[in-house]
Structure 1
Amino acid sequence: MKRISVMAFILMACQTFAQQKLNNSAFMHAPESVATDNNNYYIADIGEGGNPTKKDGNGSIFRMDKKGNGSILAKGLDAPKGAFILHHMLFVADIDKVKGYDIATGAQLYNIDFAPATAFLNDIAAINDTTLVVSATDVNKLFLVHLSKHPRVKELVYTNPIKGTNGVVYDAHTKKLYVCGFGGDNKPDGQIGYIDMAATEKVFKPLTSRPGYYDGIALTAHNTQLIISDWVAFEKKGILLKLDLASGKVTTLNEEPVAGPADFTLDAAGAAIVPAMLEGNILRYNISK
């Protein structure tokens, strides 16, 4: 019985942190973000060369089915990032524009211009059914987008700005907007924290003193933990972190490093679907216990 119990523990541990490649061919160049409707994966690919700020028209949005087969949903973008689904519409951040596509047809329904305020829009989350929050990495800012026939863009003013503002996720129950940063001046000095959106004066409050090249951020199903991706370096050294919101404890989840863990999502089973941007793959990590 003791031998069986030990073996069962080992198998469970392997399953918990197992890495699985989801795409069955190399159809992507530099996948930066992924979203899912639990039927398909929608991948924002910066394109050949992987330049996140170059207006070269070689960016694409792929639809990938559960068998790992990819097809084009939209093409001719520049450097799409920050894929987010709201009301059967896929929003992406494309340098200085937020674009919205019908996920069924690929028809473009939104093209919201932020220029000249920023040239590096990055991640997107929803505050409510008609309001998006978008990060701007180059200017360390956040913007609110009020969706309508004529969308309005407004800067979210807050104190204690975060360097390289990147990943965003919103908890509607606590009214907290969680944000992480990639750092500044090519230094891994990004932070993880939150802004109380119900407060009159908005302040970014760090949750940990641990710095990093932080990119993606997500809340677990019960909103008690954050999952964050940290590139660590510009090579295959990336990790996924779990931050417990009650204790502030930070732990590393994956054993095998990731080559550029960009803006990921959590699927219905709680697994992390992570773009390995530097190698052009989509990876699945079963991080649930």
Structure 2
Amino acid sequence: AQITVTELQSPYSFVNDPIEKGYFISSVNGEAETADNNGFITKLDPHGKLLNLKFIQGGKGNVTLHAPKGMAVVEHVLYVADLDTLRGFDTTTGKPVLALTIRSPTTTQPMLPQASLSDVTFDGKGHLYCSDQKANTIYRVDLATQTFSVLVTDRALAGPSGLVVHPKSGQIIAVSWDKGKISEVSPEGVVTELFSNGFFSSRFQNLRGVDFDRWGNMYVSDFTTGKVWRMSWDKRFQVIAEFLPSPGDLSIDRANNLILVPYEFAHAAEMNGLETPSDGKLKQEKRTLADYGFIPPPPKPAAEGPAKK
């Protein structure tokens, strides 16, 4: 099953609602760092059909929403990273229920007093984690007290963009925008490098999204190279889709085994069925969105023939 959603405006993140079974897509709509109060969030029904293009809209009613980026659904609240503020909205009504302003650690980086949040993820234990790409910082938010603290500030994070909590270990996985590396962060804030580009090989460029399927495979999106990678539990890498137009903050609907990918520059998003684990034999052809008619297929290499004089 493959469903494409259009009419979005610089979509950043695409998540599912495990309770109500619908889906949400955030649209920055304009400059990614500008407080212009014109961002919006689209709501889809459980079958991926459009319910409301602007279910939550900055400037309408009493909603403030500037440039919504990463999102996480916890029970009946949709949490959204919006510049320096973590916002919460009721998943049924769209009404705001939380606005928590985050301040970056000014002591270490005096030039960055304002946070700029990229992603948000839930640990299943009452905490949200938010990434601040520019400040190399991950914040922990306590939902019970609605307060935040700095979990870690570390240059080794190299511009942390997408975040996810490992469903089995509880460790935080952070993917790097600046250097294309993947790090693991403990709940105590200890950073361990999982994968990085070698001196002679650069597998990843600018990583934006990360999530796990129900079997423990990890998926990452490389915004610049247009690829989605799968890393199996035994650390084998495979490109599962390529030639994608700016794949953003992807996520996995684990219950339905779907991958949800926004395409920022194409102003669109899509959901696709994932393969279930097989016998380990790779398919001959890598799947691309051209198979579904969303983008034109890549040019075929010219057939070998006699060289022209």
TM-score for both structures, normalised by structure 1: 0.81
Distance 1:279 1:192 in 2: 26
- Out of 132, 149, 154, the position equivalent to 1:154 is 149
Distance 1:139 1:160 in 2: 9
After superposition, the Cα gap between the structure-2 partners of 1:67 and 1:242, relative to the gap in structure 1 and judged at 3 Å, is closer
Distance 2:114 2:194 in 1: 24
- Is 1:269 the equivalent of 2:263? no
For 2:284, the equivalent position in structure 1 comes to none
Per-residue CA shift, 1:125-163, capped at 9, x if unaligned?
Answer: 112342100000111110000113x41110112656211
- Out of 65, 69, 91, the position equivalent to 1:81 is 69
Distance 1:159 1:121 in 2: 16
Pairing of 1:122-161 with structure 2 (within 5 A): 122-148=118-144, 150-157=145-152, 159=154, 161=156
Code of the aligned partner of 1:180? V
Of stretches 154-163 and 95-104 in structure 1, the one that deviates more from structure 2 is 154-163
| 1:88 Cα deviation after fit | 1.5
Distance 1:80 1:37 in 2: 17
Distance 2:14 2:261 in 1: 7
- Is 1:182 the equivalent of 2:164? no
Distance 2:221 2:7 in 1: 23
Pairing of 1:221-240 with structure 2 (within 5 A): 221-223=214-216, 225-232=217-224, 237-240=225-228
Distance 1:119 1:129 in 2: 24
- Out of 148, 158, 166, the position equivalent to 1:163 is 158
After superposition, the Cα gap between the structure-2 partners of 1:67 and 1:279, relative to the gap in structure 1 and judged at 3 Å, is same
Distance 2:48 2:189 in 1: 47
For 2:181, the equivalent position in structure 1 comes to 191
Distance 1:203 1:158 in 2: 10
Check the 8 A contact 1:263/1:274 in 2, yes or no.
yes
| 1:104 Cα deviation after fit | 0.6
Code of the aligned partner of 2:184? Y
- Is 1:252 the equivalent of 2:239? yes
Check the 8 A contact 1:190/1:213 in 2, yes or no.
yes
For 1:241, the equivalent position in structure 2 comes to 229
Code of the aligned partner of 2:210? I
For 2:103, the equivalent position in structure 1 comes to 115
Tell me, what secondary structure is at the counterpart of 1:258? Answer: coil
Distance 1:84 1:214 in 2: 18
Code of the aligned partner of 1:226? M
Q: % of aligned pairs identical?
A: 23
Tell me, what secondary structure is at the counterpart of 1:262? Answer: coil
| 1:70 Cα deviation after fit | 4.2
| 1:121 Cα deviation after fit | 0.2
Tell me, what secondary structure is at the counterpart of 2:156? Answer: coil
After superposition, the Cα gap between the structure-2 partners of 1:201 and 1:109, relative to the gap in structure 1 and judged at 3 Å, is closer
Report which of the two has the higher share of strand: 1
For 2:209, the equivalent position in structure 1 comes to 216
After superposition, the Cα gap between the structure-2 partners of 1:136 and 1:159, relative to the gap in structure 1 and judged at 3 Å, is closer
Structure 1: gaps (5+ residues): 1-17, 184-188
Distance 2:41 2:189 in 1: 37
Distance 1:194 1:85 in 2: 22
After superposition, the Cα gap between the structure-2 partners of 1:201 and 1:274, relative to the gap in structure 1 and judged at 3 Å, is closer
Structure 2: gaps (5+ residues): 59-64, 105-112, 198-202, 277-309
| 1:101 Cα deviation after fit | 0.6
Distance 1:130 1:37 in 2: 17
| 1:32 Cα deviation after fit | 0.4
Distance 1:128 1:270 in 2: 20
- Is 1:58 the equivalent of 2:51? no
For 1:33, the equivalent position in structure 2 comes to 13
Aligned length: 252
After superposition, the Cα gap between the structure-2 partners of 1:105 and 1:163, relative to the gap in structure 1 and judged at 3 Å, is same
For 1:46, the equivalent position in structure 2 comes to 28
Distance 1:140 1:201 in 2: 12
| 1:203 Cα deviation after fit | 2.1
| 1:73 Cα deviation after fit | 2.1
Aligned CA-pair RMSD: 2.0
